[in-house]
Amino acid sequence: MNFDINKALEILEQTPHTLDSFLGNLSQDWINNNEGRETWSPFDVMGHLIHGEKTDWIDRLNKTLSTNDKHFVPFDRFAQFEDSKGKTLRNLLDEFKQLREKNLSYLKSLNLTESDLAQTGIHPEFGEVTAKQLLATWVTHDLGHIAQIARVLAKQYTEEVGPWTAYISILNN
């Protein structure tokens, strides 16, 4: 598919609702278990998504559209461990929903044209990237973390499925 802002919005708008349906009624061990040392639990992933809403996507979009400061701030992939302290998963689901709504409302208000989408910013590693690439990445980043959460949950039952591990490929990723 070619990038289309309205189709990108379809995905970006569903994510908070999907995550709420997916995680909102699960008990603590589903939410807090991870895949082993230095991996993330669904709770950690929610904190990471919140950090992106606060510091990353819109700030970077503004930099692609800006005429002076084009340099993206490197993303802190560990900020959530501090930021999520003392919060419940319900807090995180609600906070993510509010931040995402606010950010998409801002994005829609920009009424981006094809020419805006071709504007560029400077990524700390990749160099020049376009607004369109940034927005497409926001979409796939959501989807990647939904898949990650599904995998982390599934792996809690790796032992319990017995011989079926051979058929359930998510357990072998």
Residues that bind a copy of itself (CB under 8 A): 1-3, 7, 10-11, 13-14, 17-18, 20-22, 24-27, 29-30, 33, 123, 126-127, 129-130, 132-133, 136-137, 139-141, 143-144, 146-148, 150-151, 153-154, 156-157, 160-164, 166-171, 173
- To 5 degrees, how large is the angle CA 45–CA 34–CA 172? 105
The CB-of-48 to a copy of itself minimum distance in angstroms stands at 13
Question: Which residues does 99 contact at the CB level (< 8 Å), separation at least 6?
Answer: 50, 53, 54
The CB-of-106 to a copy of itself minimum distance in angstroms stands at 20
85 vs 98 by CB, closer to a copy of itself: 98
Please state, as a whole number, how many other Cβ atoms lie within 10 Å of the Cβ of residue 2: 6
The CB-of-118 to a copy of itself minimum distance in angstroms stands at 12
